[in-house]
Structure 1
Amino acid sequence: MTLTGRIPRKFGNLSFLVSLELGSNNFQGNLPQEMMRLHQLKFLDLSVKNLIGKVPSWFGFLHQIQVLNLRNNSFTGSITSSFSNMSTLETLNMNINSILVQIPKVTGKLINLRVLKLGADQLMGSIPFTIFNISRIKIIAFTGNSLSGSLPNGLCNGLPILKEHYLCTNKLHGHMLTSLSNCSQLQILSLSKNEFDGLIHSEIGKLNLSINQLSVLIPNSLGYLTHLKLLNLAENNLTTLSLTLNPLNGMLSASTGNLSTSLRNFYANVCKIKGRIPNELWNVSRLLDLDLSRNYLVGSIPTSIGNFRNLQGLSLSNNKLTGFIGDQICKFQHLGDIYFGQNQLSGLLPNCLGDITSLREINLGYNKLSTNIPPSLGSIHDLVVLYLSSNNMAGSLPPEIGNLKAATLIDLSMNQFSSRIPREIGGLQNLENLSLRHNKLQGAIPDSMSNMVGLEFLDLSHNNISGIIPMSLEKLQNLKYFNDSFNKLYGEIPSVGPFKSLSSQFFIHNEALCSSSRFSLPPCPISSKHKSNRNKLLVLFLLLGLELLFVPITYLFVWIRYGKGKRAPQQTDALSAITRERISYYELIQATDALSESNLIGTGSFGSVYKGVLKSGTAIAVKVFNLQLDAAFNSFDTECEVLSSLHHRNPIKVITSCSNLEFKALVLENMPNESLEKYLYSHNYFLDIKQRLSIMIDVACALEYLHHGCTSAVIHCDLKPSNVLLDDDMVAHLSDFGTSKHIGDDESDLYTKTLATLGYIAPEYGLDGFVSTKCDVYSYGIMLLETFTRRRPNEFEGDISLKQWPYDRISPSRGRIKILQIIRYRRGNSDPQPADSLSAITRERISYYELLQETDALSESNLIGSGSFGSVYKGVLRSGVAIAVKVLNLQLNAAFKSFDLECEVLRSLRHRNLVKVITSCSNLDFKALALKYMPNGSLDMHLYSHNYFIDIRQRLRIMIDVE
């Protein structure tokens, strides 16, 4: 029901009325003066649209009024001085009236005001500074007036709880405020449609600065506005907006399309932006460079992208975009770079892409494109980079690719391209990097590739390329990397030019390549002409040799037969004691099916192990060392040295070896049941308790032999389940002696830089680098627990470890103490006694006065650090002991709890890696702990200060101490 007419005068007789709400009616005319008698009134809503007349002065008689709403009427005149009598007023809303005067200073006397709204009232003049002293005010709204002048720089000093400030659509001017940080509760500041200039400050949660004269870069600190929901910069003169590397953690809203029409560059990469790209973004039609890469954008690329006719750079890489790359991208006639890599884009490449002749770089790698390469790409004569790696692209390589004369990098790897490599590719003389690996290319390597004189990197591996390697490629003097492995090539490998420095690994897994012994390949057959001449020479020298050597050979035979002399000792290498027979690289390749992945049975720190079968039918395991690692050479030599002296059933046996400068391998006895690790952690395998015990007895026997049965003790140094192999009868054999050490009779330990596997390392080994037979015993204990619990030593967190876990799982009645005392590694047996506060840490207190003397009155020169609850100072006790004094800041309530907590914890701690407390000083006004002084400061200082440096070994030791 809607009431009409005038407001009855009799309302003035309701002297006990507390609330009068007349809003949403159609009352007309003036307010009756009789209403001034409503002295108990607290709430008055007169937002009835049609009230007229001057603003009544009798409002000042409403001494109890708290809310006065005169919104949406036609009141005129000004706010009278009598308004100051409404000292209890909390909300004043006079939006949408016809007050054609200034805001009176008397408004500032309404000290209890919480909300002040004078929007759309045709107000003029400046804003009285007295309003900015109403300390309880939360909302100020002067929107849609003609206010002029500037805002006081100290605006926030008197408004500590201001949350919303609306000043948009006025004539305010001057610089942006620099004291916004004092408005700690500020959430919304609307200054749009004014005449402000200068820098934007970063202390705002919701910012509207549209229609101003801003023309500078938006500061990077804008990205740290964690409550930012709306950024409106419309109708400014901004040319560059950079939000790079700021964690915005939000979505691009439709209002992004309201960005300044003068904007040329928009960078919002690495900002954690989510959601879709709004269609409205493309309304910023003058944009030249757009970078939204490395975010979490989803959905497809909007079709309205074609509005960016002037765009020169477009980067949307490293997102989660899906869908197709449409023809609309071809409207960018000035585009220089396309970066769409590492998304989930699919479909075809637009045929019109070649029409963008201004392109310099195309990066569409790591997507799901299933197209061929459009021949039109050959029209982009100035293209420098073409990166299409890791897609599902297929078909043949178009001959037009040879038109990309300016290209320096072409990467088409990890696709499904087939057919031949076009001979036209040889015309790319500026190309430096060409990768065609992991495709299905066929045919021969074009001889024209010898013309690619700028080529430095060429990868043709993992294809079906056949034929020979053209000798003309020797002319490529700049070539540093050439990989032809995993193809069907045959014939001789070029040997001069860049091929002199290439590794044999670049030619493995081909059909019938041959070369010198440097590449560990079979020698190439000699031609018939040379073979004929060579045979004639061999016959001649054979006849002469027989005549000249007949007599000496006869005497030599008689001398050996009757033992008239002794055989001279022969020089042997480390493996001569293991085997009297070598195996060639070619035989090894045949035995393992060219070291195929189907025969791979394991990998280690220095190489891989393959299964194979020799011509004799013997099953073998081939350990191939990765010679790209320097340590692999030492590992090979060590295994040779150690295994040559072992004669026991439980260490692994070596059958033979294959060794040259480019290839090193050990041929081991095959273990069909593989490793203990497989039986412990694979679902398809199981060991009963008897088998586990038998395996661990075998390992113990191997260790006993290594430590006490050899000429000099051998320390294995890397005992773990993956190095315990099982034969047909489930007998355990210890393997991988690459990190093992010999120890002399007069030595109890020795130093080593070779690290064992974390979790199995004995503490003294990890801390100091010294190893002894006790280190193997410790590792054996860990592996014993692991074998029977099937829990890895590195899967525990916090205070629980593999040593502690069984202790907690076994009840005392089942003898956990007796069981674990056998295995458990302990360094001491003193248990901490209970004590109150710090009495267990120290028996001596120190006075506040002494503490001041020892730290030079807590001077800043002795300050060495600060934390959440206090500061740390350096000092020296009277005894000469250097200390660090941690002084708690008792102005923080949490500091008391922190002090008590440290007391409670430290009283029970006894460990070399925990900071020690010397004494304490405590009273109601002062609390401090005197700690052991650490002269080298903190790890943080050594990591990030330019004057300090710690090497990799030191870093590892530090982290082991922390663990």
Structure 2
Amino acid sequence: MKLPNSIGNLSDSLQMLMIDLCGINGNIPSEIGYLSNLFKISFAGNVLNGSIPTTISNLQALQHLNLAGNELDGFIVDELCDIRRLAYLYLSRNKLSGAMPPCLGNLISLQGLYLGGNKLSSEIPSSFWNLTGVLEVNLSSNMLVGNLSFKIRNMKALIRLDLSRNNISGTIPSTIGSLQNLQNVSLANNILQGTIPESLGNLLSLVKLDLSQNNLSGEIPKSLEPLTSLKYVNLSYNRLQGEIPSGGVFNDLTAESFMMNKALCGEPKMQVPPCRKEQRKRSKAKWILLKYILPLVLSAILVLSGIVLFQRKRMNSRHTIMKQDLSTLGMPRRISYFEILDATNRFDESNLLGSGSFGSVFKGRLSNGIIVAFKIFNFDSEAMSKSFEVECDTLRNVRHRNLVKIISSCSSDDFKCLIMEFIPNGSLEKWLYSHNYCLDFLQRLNIMINIASALEYIHHGLSTPIVHCDLKPSNILLDDDMVAHVSDFGIAKFLDEGKSKTLTETIPTIGYVAPEYGSLGIVSTKVDVYSFGIILIEVFTRKRPTEDMFVGGLDLKSWVSESMSHSLTQVIDSNLLQDDDEQYIANILTTASTILELALNCCANFSQRRCNMSEVVVSLNKIKDMFIQTCYLKKY
């Protein structure tokens, strides 16, 4: 079966065209360029051949193009670069050859680029590293050459990077340590040389690191030890030397992570020789440090302390916090910049609660004993400055038990900070995906009711409705009583003057964005409803919308929808089904089915079909009451 040329005669109003896994062969007709209102095309998992038609540049509304898993050949056509709203480009597992087009760097809306499993043979163009908003890049299993550019630091939003199985040479640039959101990195099966940069220790979100089968030398950086999120490391088949670190993630690693590095030493379980010589070297170095270097350092500290004290009065008046509502919390009327330094121990890493593209959040104790959170903004872009102003404007006059309270703000030309109530139990994301925590069914339901209540308030309880625009588990914090608080209003939008929708160019987080928001920039309260629906599914399945399993047209919504009727136990988080009481498990599944039906309604593709948050709050409370009556009370 082939795609007919008459495909161009389909309705002008058609927005999505998805024909996956149907055995379609032949070329993609050039007439597809007539369907100018399409925002999603998916022909994944077929046997299409030939080249990508240049008429695709006519599809200016296109956001999502998935041609993965076919037999397309020829070059990646430059005309793809003319689709400025393109957010997701899947061309993996084809037979595409030649160079990566330099114009890919012009796709400023791009969030996901998947070119793996082709025959691309060029260098990665310098302009490519200018994609500051891209979240996922997969260029694996090609024949790419050249060095990794230091410009990689520009990709501040990057979460996943896979350049494995290519012919990339040179060194790993130390600027990779600037990518604070990076979670998965694979540079395996290349010909990289030099040392593993110490700056990798700055990647606080790093979960997976694969540098195997290269020509890397030098020692394994101890800076990787404190990375609490790091779960997988593979450094095998290199030329590394010295001691294998033993702290942090290295406690749980096995010899397979380091094999075929003949000059490594360490503990017996790593199947390497002991490090006797290295220990003597370290002892000698320690003696030199204590005798010669330490006195010099202490002298320098005394001099710097004098300078700091001299500058303190002059800076004190410049960096002050403007009072907003401090009296109710017993806080002082004015707090100097230096008091913030003291409260955070000069922004010591031990007080770091988290970081992102906006900056960092630190825990701090003020002089009167009150513990607060300091959200420090990076100011290397106009967008971050606007984010600070938006968050101040949004939360200045709103009060709700399920919103994080902003206590005050600190603003000067070179320092901007929000002072917020400290929420001790961390984010919902941490509780969902950490092995040290587990939420039971009722806790998860209560948390989602809390979030829904917060959204109902900002959507329907204010004279000027507010749309959060970036709802996700990392922006939901849990207090000591496991009550949820919605935070991070940095890209929120006001629907003023009675408007039900507005337009924006702000790029939200991949996986949680409503179709009309991602493709057309249309913002309404239904954007938050969509994100809430995705989170509702995520909380009860414990699957992120960006899981590796969601490829080739499969996503979190369709996975749940297809499983509802016949295999619900395959999608519900298995931690919720660990009980010997079969009736209890049956009740859990019945309640979960109702919850997921509500979730799928919330994240319908068309905004008109989604319920509003007032309806969601009513539905969830009914579900909770029914669960307690039929299941929870009987068991406990």
Query: Which TM-score tier does this pair reach, normalised by the shorter chain?
Result: 0.3 to 0.5
TM-score normalised per structure 1: 0.29
Greater RCO (CA < 8 Å, at least 6 residues apart): 2
Which of the two has higher C-alpha Rg?
A: 1
TM-score normalised per structure 2: 0.44
If each structure's helix is expressed as a fraction of its own residues, which one has the higher value? 2
